[in-house]
Structure 1
Amino acid sequence: MIIAVPYKNGNIFQHFGKTEALKLYETSDAKINKTEIIPTNSIGHGGIVDILRERKVSVLICSGIGNGAKKLLRENSILFFGGASGDADKAVSDYLMGQLVYDADAGCNHHCAEEG
């Protein structure tokens, strides 16, 4: 399974659609086998979802995320867990152990009407 996290300086970046990088985690048997940081060039939520789909990401762990991004993730069968914060590696490890702290109702707190 591949897990993605919007990433900056070791932490979960606070706004999915504005992230400049994603950290991808290749996992199996509840362990991280390989990681890779890829640039997104701040292409917005639609372009980022395209990257996730192309990279066969199954799960996204993020912080702030708008309704448009949520819709695109659902349409592409990518599970997402918003409202997470802090260390990205720890969040992925917590997810793999069934202990991720997240907010199922997480959104974004600015320009959600235009971005979705």
Structure 2
Amino acid sequence: MKIAVPLEGGNVCAHFGHAPQFMLVTADQGTVVKKEMLDNPGHEPGRLPKWLGDMGIEAIITGGMGERAVNLFRAQGIQVYMGVTGPADLAVEALLRGKLAGGASLCSHGSGHEHPGECGPGGSGCGH
């Protein structure tokens, strides 16, 4: 299984597309066998779902993301777990044990507004 987690300082980022980095985890039979960190290639509509889908990602763990991104991931058969906070490694472990309880997105989107700094330096989530 391949899992992607938007990352900020070791924690699951509140807004998927604005994360500075992504942690990509490969697991086999519930055990992490590979972990890598990749810089976010940029936040523009449809880019991240294609980028991660092309890498064979099967699950996304995130604080939140827009409905369009969720739909793009699900169209590729990628499971999306939203509403997750805290250390990324613990979230991955919970998913692998079948104990990750996702929830509602931590960030709701209106049309056309931005979320400055929410996952960048000093950011702490989606602060509308």
TM exceeding 0.5: yes
Identity of aligned residues (%): 29
* Structure having the larger proportion of residues in helix: 1
Deviation at 1:82, TM superposition (A): 0.4
- Corresponding position: 1:25 with 2:17: no
Q: Number of matched residues?
A: 113
Q: Mind listing any 5+ residue stretches in structure 2 that lack a counterpart?
A: 114-128
Q: Which amino acid aligns with 1:113?
A: S
CA contact (8 A) 1:4 1:24 kept: yes
1:7-55 alpha-carbon deviations (Å, 9 max, x no partner): 1110001101212211000001101111000111332352111111111
CA contact (8 A) 2:15 2:106 kept: no
CA contact (8 A) 1:66 1:112 kept: no
Tell me the distance in 2 between the aligned counterparts of 1:66 and 1:24. 20
* Alignment-derived partner of residue 108 in structure 1: 107
Q: Which moved more, 1:36-45 or 1:66-75?
A: 36-45
Q: Mind listing any 5+ residue stretches in structure 1 that lack a counterpart?
A: none
- Corresponding position: 1:52 with 2:67: no
Tell me the distance in 1 between the aligned counterparts of 2:111 and 2:28. 38
- Which structure 2 residues correspond to residues 9-20 of structure 1 after superposition, within 5 A? 9-20=9-20
TM-score by length of 2: 0.81
CA contact (8 A) 2:5 2:60 kept: yes
Tell me the distance in 1 between the aligned counterparts of 2:52 and 2:12. 16
TM-score by length of 1: 0.88
Q: Which amino acid aligns with 2:46?
A: G
Deviation at 1:107, TM superposition (A): 5.6
* Alignment-derived partner of residue 73 in structure 1: 73
* Alignment-derived partner of residue 41 in structure 2: 41
CA contact (8 A) 2:94 2:100 kept: yes
Tell me the distance in 1 between the aligned counterparts of 2:93 and 2:31. 8
